[in-house]
Structure 1
C-alpha cells in the first residue's frame, strides 16, 4: 500500500509538513521533520533515487553553499543559522518534492490535499481567535514563537509561527483551488476561496494579499456557475447571521484586528516599516563575501532587517546571494516553460521572490516546496 494512497493520509502529511509545528517538550522536533523522515523512509523502501542532472546539480550547489556559509561563520565567529537554512532548504524545498512527486498519482490529489489541510488550519484559526481557554491548553504543548496567543489580537492557529508565515501557508489553499477549477468547476470552490481570504484578515496581511491574487485569478480563469454563486450567498448569509454580529460586538476585533488589517493600506503599516530597513553598515569584504551571521547570541536579528534579501546578503554576501537567487529562479523557470499552465506557473514563481521582500519565506521552506511540487505535476499533467 502506498503511504499516500488514502486522502486523509495525504491531508495529514501536507498539514504536518507545511505548518512545521514545534512542541514545548522538544523544540527541535518539528512536524515537518517528522513528515520528511516518514516520506524518506517509505521512498527508500519502495523507489529508487533517479533524478535529472539539473536536480542533482542544484542539490550539490545548495550543499556547497551551506559549507561556504559554515566557513564564513567560523572565520567571522558567527552563527550556523544560514548553514541550517541552506541544508534544510535542500531537503525540504527540493528533495521532498522530488520524492513526493514519485508517490502521488496526479496533480489533482495534491491540490485537493492542500485545500483540505488549509480548511483544517482555518478551523484552528477561528478557534484560537475566539477561545483563550483553548489557547491555554494548546500552547501548553505547542511552542508558539509569537505572543498572538496572549493578546488574541491576531489568530495564532495550530502553528508555531503565526502572523505572516501562517497567512502565506493558508493562502496556498487558495492557489490550489485555482488549479482544481481547471479540472472542472465545483460549487464549493468559490465559498472556500472566500473563506480563506476572510480567515487571513485575522491572521496576516501578506497571506491576505496572496489570497486576493488567487481570487482574482479564479474569476479571470474560471466560469463561476450558478451553484457556486448560491453556495457563496449561503455562506455570506451564515457569516452575517452568526459571525458578523460576533465581530461587531467583539472588542479585540474592533480595537486591534481591524485597525491592524487596515493599517496595511496606510503609511503606518508593514510597507513603511520595511522601507526603513536597509543594509546595516558593512565593510566592502563583508558586503561581497558575507558576515556569516543571521542571529546574534542575544537571539536578535543580526542584520536588523526582516527582509529576506537583506538577511541573505548580510550572511552570505552580495555575490553568493545573487548567485543563489538567480539559479533558483532559473531552476524553477525551467520547469515552468512548456508546462500545461505557464501563466499559473510563472505567477507563483514570481510570488516566491515577491514575498521575500517581506520576510525570508524562501528559507521557511513550505512555499518553494509548494511551487516546485506544483511545477513537477504541471509538467506531468495534461488537463
Structure 2
C-alpha cells in the first residue's frame, strides 16, 4: 500500500510557518491530486484537500476559516457529478474544526494543529478497511458462496482477507454501464478465488445459490440506510424476499448526515435522470438508417414474425446494443437502500445494526 502521506508527514511540518503562495489555491485540483492514490477514497480526498486549504488560507479568525472551508466544500460539490462521498468527508472535517478545542497560543498555531490532525486522521483512516475485513471474517464460513456488487475497495479487501483463511466463492454483478464488476472479477481471480460475473438482470436467478450478499457503500445515512452503486437496492429487496442476509461494509468516514426518504431525495438526482428525450421523427433518414443496419446483418430466421424480437449473435449487434453516453446520462449512478433491508453494517467502529448507525452518527456529531 502506498500512502499519500508518511507517518512523519502526518505529524510534522518542514517549517514553523504556514506555506504561502502567490497563485490562487484550487481546492478541486487538490482533491483530484489526492484521488490519484488508489487507497484514497472521495471522503478522505475531501479531507486532504480541505487541510491543504487551511494551510494556504490567509484567514485571521475562526469565522473566516470556517467560511473558507464551507466555500471550498461547496466548490467541490459543484464540480463533482457524485458529491455524496466527498460531502461526508467535508462534514466530518468541518465539524471537527468548528468543535476543535481552542488551546493553541495563537491562531496560526491553531491552524497548524488542525492541519496536523487532518493529515494524521487520513493516514490512519486508510487502515480502517483492514479492521472491517477482520470483523467480516467472523461472519464468513468455510465454503461460503458470496454475492457482491460492482467494485468496492473495502469489500475487495474483505474478500481477499477471507481467502487467506477460508474457502470462498464469489458471484459479482457486471454493474452496467461502467462494468466495474469486471474489475472485482480480475482482482479476485488473480489470487485464485473462484469467481463468476453475473448479469445485473440475473440477481434473482443467482440468489438461491448464495449464502449472503456483501456490498460496499458510497455513504451510510442517518436513517441507517445505504447509498451505493445503482442496483444495490434491488439486490437488497431480492435478498430480503429470499431470506438471505444483506451486509454492508462502510468506513466510519462514510457516515453521512443525510436522511433521504426515497431515491429522488438523493443529491445526485436531477431532472435529467429517467427523463424522456424528445422522440425523433419516425420518417427521418437517421432512424431509417439505424433500422436497416439493425436487420441487414441478421439471419432472417432469427427475426420473429412481429419483428420485435431478434436473437442475432451479440457480436453482430454490439454496436446497436450498447448504451450511448446520452442514454447513460439519463440513468442514476447510485441508489438508496432502506434500513429495513440491511442486516448489518460492518465498520471500523464495530458491527452495527442500521439503528446503531443512526445512534452513532448522532453521537459523533454531538461530541466530535
Greater helix content: 1
Shorter chain as normaliser: what TM range? under 0.3
Greater strand content: 2
- With normalisation by structure 1, the TM-score equals 0.27
- With normalisation by structure 2, the TM-score equals 0.28
Identify which of structures 1 and 2 has the higher relative contact order when contacts are C-alpha pairs closer than 8 Å and 6+ apart.
Answer: 1
